[in-house]
Copies of this chain bind each other. A is one copy, B any other.
Amino acid sequence: MTQQRVARRTGRRTQQERSSTTTLQLLNSARKLFARDGYTATSLDAICDAAEVTKGAFYHHFKNKEQLFRAVYEREQQDLSSAIAQEYSHYNDPWEALFQGMREFLVGSMEPTRQRITLIDAPGALGWEAMREIRTDCRRMMFYGLSQALGKGRFPRHEIESLTSMVYGAQCEAAMAMAHADDPDELLESALRQFRFLFDSIRRMSPTSQP
């Protein structure tokens, strides 16, 4: 609650610097607290305290609490996406690349902080519509991966869309299960085995039949 300027920073800072440091501090503190206590249970005052910033400063940079959460969420999602993309690019075989990308997703989602924010709180806090909008990155990557692996033009687009949804859902649920399992690594391997099996099955399928 009690807020006072601490430790005067080095004499003069540009507006750019002032802005970016406070927003960064807010994002970092928010990330920590949202993950620890959940979205609604985390008060703005607590966040501002932790960030050593006043509420006035906060409301200068963000429209409201939801937008702050959204910013935190987006950063998280981007970190994950880029990690996956990088992993994906290391493999030539499209099925193997897809598979390794999914491993990266699962490993990256095991971290409790990220898991709480992106998988537990986000749907309720942002709503389904906003979620879908932002999650586009991950989904598009998976859609691309599946399209590549299945072969161009072999299947109608909506069929691949639908498959994307379901594989994505399976991935998320697996991530959540892992995060609370007695032996997460065992579950990770088990989940990956099953994805592998699914992919192999699709692969073996005659090109003309349905996925």
Report yes or no: A191 in contact with B174, Cβ–Cβ below 8 A: no
Contact of A174 among B124, B162, B186, B211 (CB under 8 A): B162
Asked whether A198 is an interface residue with its Cβ less than 8 Å from the other chain, the reply is: yes
Q: How many residues of A contact B (CB 8 A)?
A: 44
Min C-beta distance of A157 to chain B, whole Å: 11
Find chain B residues with CB under 8 A from A211 CB: 193-194, 197
Report yes or no: A193 in contact with B210, Cβ–Cβ below 8 A: yes
Report yes or no: A158 in contact with B190, Cβ–Cβ below 8 A: yes
Which residues of A in the span 63-116 have a Cβ within 8 Å of any Cβ on B? none
Min C-beta distance of A143 to chain B, whole Å: 12
**A1-9, A13-21, A49-57, A163-171: which lies at the B interface?**
A163-171
Which residues of A in the span 157-185 have a Cβ within 8 Å of any Cβ on B? 158-159, 162-163, 165-174, 176-177, 179-180
Identical chains bound together, number: 2
Report yes or no: A168 in contact with B159, Cβ–Cβ below 8 A: no
The residue of chain B having its C-beta at the shortest distance from the C-beta of A188 within the complex is B162
Contact of A190 among B127, B128, B162 (CB under 8 A): B162
State in angstroms the CA–CA spacing of A188 and B194 once bound together.
23
Which residues of A in the span 183-211 have a Cβ within 8 Å of any Cβ on B? 186-187, 190-191, 193-194, 197-198, 201-202, 205, 210-211
Find chain B residues with CB under 8 A from A193 CB: 159, 210-211
Interface hub of A119, A123, A127, A165 (most chain B Cβ within 10 A): A165
Which 3 residue pairs are nearest across A and B when measured between Cβ atoms? Answer: A169-B173, A124-B124, A201-B201
Report yes or no: B169 in contact with A172, Cβ–Cβ below 8 A: yes
Min C-beta distance of A81 to chain B, whole Å: 18
Find chain B residues with CB under 8 A from A119 CB: 123
Find chain B residues with CB under 8 A from A174 CB: 162, 165-166, 169
Report yes or no: A194 in contact with B163, Cβ–Cβ below 8 A: yes
